[in-house]
Structure 1
Amino acid sequence: MTPFALPAADDGAFTPPTLEDMHLPAIFPWGAAEGFSKQMLLVLLSVVLISWFFLAAARKGQLVPGKLQFLGESMYGFVRNSIGKDIIGGRDFMKFVPLLFALFFFILLNNIYGAVPFFQLPTMSHVGGAYFLAGLVYVTWIGVGLKKYGPRFIKLTVVPSGVPWFILPIVVPIEIISNFIVRPMTHSLRLFATMLAGHLVVALAGSGIAYLISQENILLQGTSLLVLVGAAAMYMLEALIMVLQAYVFTLLTAIYIQGALHADAH
């Protein structure tokens, strides 16, 4: 059973979808833990699919690329140039392209799962995956700053240049909270919340259609067509957001790294 065709309650009332309907039980449960879930399976599958595609695209490496090589090079070039080079800068960006490349396509594919029949689950609608990626980025940009500036990086991050000394007791705590607490939280929750909310809306519309069609009232059955139109529009909007969130997450990663590399210019 999918989250788009939920049954009505025993009394015939509409039963809205819940998080339990979207987050399916473990495929291989063990002990008191959740076990090996559908989300884990899709994450592993995404790694296999991404690796297979880009290895296949780069296998021949012809001077005049074929369709698959051209597509792979175009996708790589988008991340390399539009995110890495444009944000981080021409001198330092290449060492971070592998990270940006992996983040973008990993998030993109795991988001797109939510628009694919049978899969119907954007794995980033589970907050754990978003937390892990945001934590990885958090450690990365702080590590970049410490490697370049040493312990002075912390001061450069929390003490803005040009601020009068008597305002620092107010500004420094705000900068600490903003950079080291709020930044990773918003980085993760932005991705998680949009994926969860979008999928819930589409699931709600789908279950509403199933409920209206099951009614004996012809007027209610006809209303299901209007809901279907709205659900199709929301479905397309969700697909667009899936792509945008992968881009936004990767773009912010590049911005954080750029800020760490040039902390003394702030």
Structure 2
Amino acid sequence: MNSVVLAAATGGEGEGGFHAPSIADFYPPAVLFEGTAFELNRLMLVRLIAALALLLVFVIAARRARVVPGRFQAAIEYVLDFCRNSLVYEVLGEERGRKYVPMITTIFCAILFFNLTGVIPGLNIASTGLIGLPIVFAAWVYVTYLAAGFREHGFGGFLKTSLFPPGVPAPLYVLLTPVEFLQVFVIRPVTLVIRLLANMIAGHLMLALSFAATNFLLLEAAGGMKLFGVVTFAGGFAVTLLEIFVGVLQAYVFAILTALYINMSVESEH
């Protein structure tokens, strides 16, 4: 059936010009300094552009800050207030959470910018779609919530409160403690990485597939098959909106889980 559709779309030619996106999109060839320690590929350049854009936005906002904010300053202040109040203070409380505001705000804004490169024309790939960057963020969170727990309870105290929850019959610790150990030391950072990575990969593949099909159907397909290009274009537009939503949502989820994990580490009981 697939071969029949492809033949119809290509006007009966032996080979079609449609090339479906794949995971290989996240492993592009080098574009600068190939073969050296400073080798850069397209994905690395997109990450650099996103990081510079993030820095530029906040530098401009800081230098143009006024007592009566304009629209740009008001938007930046809204994001900062959201991170401080809704992500940090809501979970950790103001007194305890104050020291974590810069970290969690940075995580939210950085992941947001890196995620949204997937829908920006000319960039067209989510910077968090390759595992290295999600691992960096997850490792930062991992070290932070462990350090917070050790400072609050001491090394032994943290292990006790994390691995031996109070109020549980002693025989059940045989089953419960290994599960708690995996949750605290393995599952939390791993799920942070996988959740972000999988969503960004899936979004890129859906978006690339929609517009690759649109390009092929409108420019290369024969006859009435060109009409399907309108359908795939509409689908691509819908996926773009969905990808923006998912990019914002994943930045929020990563940041709120960071606050939750820190809070769970410093609480006396879990």
- When normalised by structure 2's length, the TM-score is 0.89
Assess, with a 3 A threshold, how the Cα gap between structure 1 residues 43 and 22 changes in structure 2: closer, same or farther: closer
Q: 1:100 pairs with 97, 104, 129, which one?
A: 104
Give the conservation status (yes or no) of the 8 Å contact 1:83–1:251: yes
CA-to-aligned-CA distance 1:44-101 (integer Å, 9 cap, x gap): 3333222222222222543322333222211111101110110111221110000011
For 1:219-234, what aligned pairs fall within 5 Å after superposition? 219-234=224-239
1:247 aligns with 2:234: no
The CA deviation string for residues 17-54 of structure 1, in whole angstroms up to 9 with x for no partner, is 12223442122244387922223223333332222222
Work out which of the residue numbers 206, 214, 220 in structure 2 matches 1:209: 214
Q: What aligned pairs does 1:190-209 form with structure 2 within 5 A after superposition?
A: 190-209=195-214
SS at 2:125 equivalent:
coil
Q: Is residue 82 of structure 2 the alignment partner of residue 78 of structure 1?
A: yes
What is the distance in 2 between the residues matched to 1:38 and 1:10? 32
Which one of 176, 193, 210 corresponds to residue 171 of structure 1?
Answer: 176
Measure, in 1, the Cα distance between the counterparts of 2:43 and 2:102.
Answer: 24
* Structure-1 residue corresponding to 2:149: 145
Choose which of 109, 114, 120 in structure 1 pairs with 2:113: 109
Aligned partner of 1:185 in structure 2 is 190
The structure-2 alpha-carbon separation of the partners of 1:86 and 1:35, relative to structure 1 and needing over 3 Å to count, comes to same
SS of the residue 1:175 aligns to? helix
- Counting only pairs closer than 5 Å after superposition, residues 26-45 of structure 1 correspond to structure 2 as 26-31=30-35, 35-45=39-49
Aligned residues of 1:87 and 1:258 also touching (Cα < 8 A): yes
Do the aligned partners of residues 77 and 216 (structure 1) sit closer, same or farther apart at CA in structure 2, a change above 3 Å counting? closer
Alignment match, 2:3: none
SS of the equivalent of 1:27 reads: strand
Stretches (4+) displaced over 6 A: none
State the percentage of identical aligned residues.
32
RMSD: 2.1
TM-score normalised according to structure 1 size: 0.90
Contact 1:134 1:187 in 2 (8 A): yes
Aligned length: 258
Name stretches of at least 5 consecutive residues in structure 1 with no aligned partner.
Answer: 1-7
Higher mean Cα deviation, 82-91 or 61-70? 61-70
